[in-house]
Amino acid sequence: MKLKESGLLGRGGAAFPTWKKWQSVLDSRGEKTYIICNASEGEPDVHKDKYLLEHRAPEVISGIKKALHFFPRSSAYIYINPEYYRSFGRHLKALTENLPITIFIKRGHYLAGEETALIADIEGKRIEPTLKPPYPYKKGLYGAPTLANNVETFYYISQIDEGHFLNTRFYTISGEVSHPGVFELPERWTIERVLLATKNDPAFDFFVQVGGGVSGEILSHAELKKPASGAGSIRVYRKATTNPMKLMGYWADFYLKENCDKCLPCREGMYRISEMVVGGKIDISALNDIAMTMKSASFCPLGRGAADPFVSLLRLYKE
């Protein structure tokens, strides 16, 4: 199987082996199978899926078609955020004409990109994550086995099928850099090498947020000898002019607005973190306790990772 041999990891952030997810859906053997292309991309400073929909949409649709051919009795959805639909909807409709592919416009915000939350959205239910197991590959959309991959994953599925996959991925580079944008480079390159190759390596003292523009981990310029994680976003901050309290206020505001309020650890944890940030005084011991509780007890990935940027930024600014 080409997909297994490629070693492709999902590009939605979790980096789960794509072939294993496909195999799990196939093994579930439902009377009907659903395929979802997740184009919800709603995190600040992550624009790779937007780039692909703008410049490589035929290849993305080709990847979805490969899935339709692979899974018997299947149909597909493109779950797309409203901004992208306004920009690319007409083109996508033309590319999917006469195919069993429905374009569904996302009703929710950031959290709706989580696979069980987007399934709830398509079904017309309250947009919030649901308990796993059962996993979507076994009982997903309308109770049927469901494959959910993101835009970049489907793009690379088409590349694998055509024999063009070179173990690359897309990086979104933003912040205080000379050449911001989306770049396709080897997936195992270090953050440092990616910045150098794109001529975005600053000459000043800086730090980066890696993985997502809000959820990503903070790393100093001396910690960049490892690959980019998550959604492949790299945002560069000038340390001397960045106000850490203001930056944390931006994160806290985002998480408070995007929180679904379903689980107590995430809801109350983010409220307490926001309270400390707004008050201008961080109790690091209390923050670490909150972060540990959120990571171990939150219902979905948003809550489990929401405190990470706060903890890693304060580690950088411990003085």
pLDDT for 53: 98
Distance CA 119, CA 152 (A): 19
Instruction: Please provide the DSSP assignment of 219-278 as one string.
Output: EETTS--SB--TT-EEEEEEGGG--HHHHHHHHHHHHHHH----SHHHHHHHHHHHHHHH
C-alpha separations of 24 from 15, 28, 132, 145, 147 in Å:
16, 6, 15, 9, 9
Distance CA 276, CA 45 (A): 25
Residue 151 corresponds to which amino acid? V
Could you give the domains of the chain?
2-161 (3.40.50.11540), 168-241 (3.10.20.600), 244-316 (1.20.1440.230)
Beta-ladder partners of 103: 78
Exposure on the CB side of residue 78, measured as CA atoms within 13 A? 30
User: pLDDT tens string for the chain (319 positions)?
Assistant: 688 888 888 787 677 889 899 999 999 988 999 999 999 998 899 999 999 999 999 999 999 999 999 999 999 999 999 999 999 999 999 999 999 999 999 997 787 888 999 999 999 999 888 888 899 999 999 999 999 999 999 999 999 999 999 999 999 999 999 999 999 999 999 999 999 999 999 999 999 999 988 989 999 989 999 999 888 999 999 999 999 999 999 999 998 888 777 788 888 888 898 989 988 888 888 888 988 898 888 878 777 888 899 999 998 887 5
Residue closest to 9 by CA, chosen among 247, 230, 237:
230
